[in-house]
Chain A
C-alpha cells in the first residue's frame, strides 16, 4: 500500500517528486510503445493511474492549451505522441476511464529469474494485439452477475423516469 493512504495521499514517493515523475514518464512512454510491460507492482500501479489520466487528457484533443502542455511533457517523442493521438484515442472512444489492465505475477515466477522478493506485475493496454493474459475477468454470464446487471438497469431506468 502506498504510504499515507489513510491520510489522503494516495501516491508513492519513488525517491523524490522530480525523480518520480521522470520514472513514471518513462514507464508511460514504454507502455504506449509496447502495450505490455513487466515491472514491480508499485511502479505498475502508479503508471496505471498516469496512463489512464493521460489518455483521458488526450481524448479532449489538442485545442485545449492544458492538454497540449501535458502531452508535450508526458510524451515528448514524436512517435509516441502520434501513437497516442492517432491510435489510442480512437481505440478508447467508448471507454470512460478504464484503459489499462494490471495483473500481479506469482511469487515463484518473481523469485526465479530475478533472484528478488519484490512482487512483479504486468501492465497492459486494453485491446492490444498480443496473446491474452491468463487472468480471470468478471464473467457477465453467471446467474449472479446477470441478476445484478438487471437490477442496476432497473434502478437506472427508475431514476431517469
Chain B
C-alpha cells in the first residue's frame, strides 16, 4: 500500500524535476546567486582622490582664499556693490587655473619673465625683492626692487597680467610690515639680488612661515622719500629713530601719540573673519560656475 505522504512528496519531486528541465533549456537565466561559488572581483577605484594638502595658519590655498580677494574697505558698509566683487573673483580663479601664480609676501625674492615684442628673445626676466602687494582682484599690483650696478631699479607688475610668462619664488620670506618702501632709504644690501640667483628650497605648505623680525637701519639723510616718523602705524621692521636728534624724537613720539587712538577705534577697523568664510564658500562654488559658463559659451558659438 502506498503512503499518501509518499505520493505527495513524489508529486512534489516531479514538479521540481519539470522545473529543472525548464532550467536545462535555458540554464543561464535561472542561476541563483546563492548557489554559485563564483565571486566577482572588487571594482577598482578609478577616481583619483585629490591629495588634501594641509595649509598652516598663515598660509592659504590660493584657489579658495587670497589677500587680493578681500574688497577694499568702504564706509558705510552698505555702499558696496557685491556683484562686481564676485565677478572679479571668478575672473581671478580663471587666470589661476591657466597659470600658476605662486605664493609670496612682501619681503620675499621673486623672479618674473614678462613678454616683450621688442626684446631679444621676446621676453625679459627681472628679479628683485617684493616691496608691496596691493590692490583688489585683477588690479592687484606688486613691485620688485633690485640694485644693478649701483642703480636702484623698481618694476611694478600686475599679478594677473597675461603678459607674465613665468613667476618663480627664489626665496620665500614674510616680513611683519606689508609696505617695505623704506628700503629705498636703507642699506642697499637688502635689495641687491644676483640676477642669476638660484631658487632656494620652498618650505611645504603645512609649515607655518616665521615672520622676519629684524630691524633695518635707515640712512642718516634728512631727505627721505617719505616721512616715516609721521606715519601711523610706525613700521616694525624699520629702525628710523637711531639717527634722530632730541627734538625730532620728541616730535615723532608726539605724532604717534596723536594717532594712537586709531588702534582702539573699533568701528573703523576692517573685520575680515566673516568675509573670509563667505569668500571660501564662494570660491568653492566658482569652479562649477566657470565650467557651466564655459560650456554654455561653447554651445552658443558652435
* In-complex Cβ contact of A9 among B75, B79, B262 (8 A): B75
Residues of A within 8 A of B262 (CB): 17
Question: Once the chains are docked, how many angstroms separate the CA of A57 from the CA of B273?
Answer: 11
| Interface residues of chain A: helix, strand, loop or mixed (majority) | helix
Contact B75 A17 (CB under 8 A): no
Say whether A50 contacts B75, CB under 8 Å.
no
Chain B interface bracket (under 10, 10 to 19, 20 to 34, 35 or more): 10 to 19
Chain A residue numbers with a CB within 8 Å of B79 are 8
Is A53 touching B266 in the complex (CB atoms < 8 A)? yes
Q: In the bound complex, what is the Cα–Cα distance between A54 and B74 (angstroms)? A: 20
Residue of B nearest to A10 (CB): B76
Q: Which has the most chain B C-beta neighbours within 10 Å: A50, A53, A57, A74? A: A53
Q: Mark A1-29, 1 if CB is under 8 A from B, else 0.
A: 00001001111000001100100000000
Q: B261 — which chain A residues lie within 8 A by C-beta?
A: 17-18, 21
Chain A proximity of B72: nearest CB distance (Å): 11
Residues of B within 8 A of A109 (CB): none
| Interface: B267 (CB within 8 A) | yes
> Which partner residue on chain B sits nearest A67 by CB separation?
B266
Q: How far is the CA of A18 from the CA of B258 in the complex (A)?
A: 8
Beyond A9-B75, A10-B76, whether A50 also contacts B267 by CB under 8 A is yes
Give, as a whole number of angstroms, the nearest-CB distance from A6 to chain B: 10
Verify if A36 is at the interface (C-beta below 8 Å from B). no
Flag whether A49 is at the interface (Cβ < 8 A): yes
Which residues of B (49-86) have their CB < 8 Å from a CB of A?
74-76, 79
A18 proximity list for chain B (CB < 8 A): 261
Q: Is B75 a contact of A8 with CB atoms below 8 Å? A: yes
Contact partner, A70, options B76, B264, B268, Cβ 8 Å: B264
Size band of the interface chain A makes with B:
10 to 19
* CB-based A-B contact count at 8 angstroms: 31
Is A54 a contact of B266 with CB atoms below 8 Å? yes
> Chain A contacts of B264 at CB under 8 A?
21, 69-70, 73-74
- Please indicate the chain B residues that have their CB under 8 angstroms from the CB of A74 in the complex: 264, 266
- If the complex has contacts A8-B74, A10-B75, A10-B76, are A49 and B267 also in contact, measured as CB distance less than 8 A? yes
Q: What string of 1s and 0s marks CB contacts (under 8 Å) between B99-116 and chain A?
A: 000000000000000000
Contacts of A73 in B (CB 8 A): 264
Check A21 against B76 for contact (C-beta < 8 Å).
no
B265 on the A face (CB < 8 A) = yes
Given contacts A17-B261, A18-B261, A21-B261, contact A70 B266 (CB under 8 A): yes
In the complex, A85 Cα to B268 Cα: how many Å? 23
Q: In the complex, A17→B76 CA distance in Å?
A: 19
Known contacts: A17-B261, A18-B261. The answer to whether A53 contacts B267 by CB under 8 A is yes
Q: Which residues of A contact B268 (CB under 8 A)?
A: 11
Which chain B positions have C-beta within 8 A of A54?
266
Nearest residue, chain A, Cβ from B273: A60
* Residues of A in contact with B (beta carbons under 8 Å apart): 5, 8-11, 17-18, 21, 49-50, 53-54, 56-57, 60, 69-70, 73-74
- 12 A-B pairs with C-beta separation under 8 A: A5-B76, A8-B74, A9-B75, A11-B267, A17-B261, A17-B262, A17-B265, A21-B265, A53-B266, A53-B267, A60-B273, A70-B264
Listed from nearest, the 3 A-B pairs whose CB atoms lie closest are A10-B76, A73-B264, A53-B266
Known: A8-B74, A70-B266. 19 other contacts (CB 8 A): A5-B76, A8-B75, A8-B79, A9-B75, A10-B75, A10-B76, A11-B267, A11-B268, A17-B261, A17-B262, A18-B261, A21-B265, A53-B266, A54-B266, A57-B266, A60-B273, A69-B264, A73-B264, A74-B266
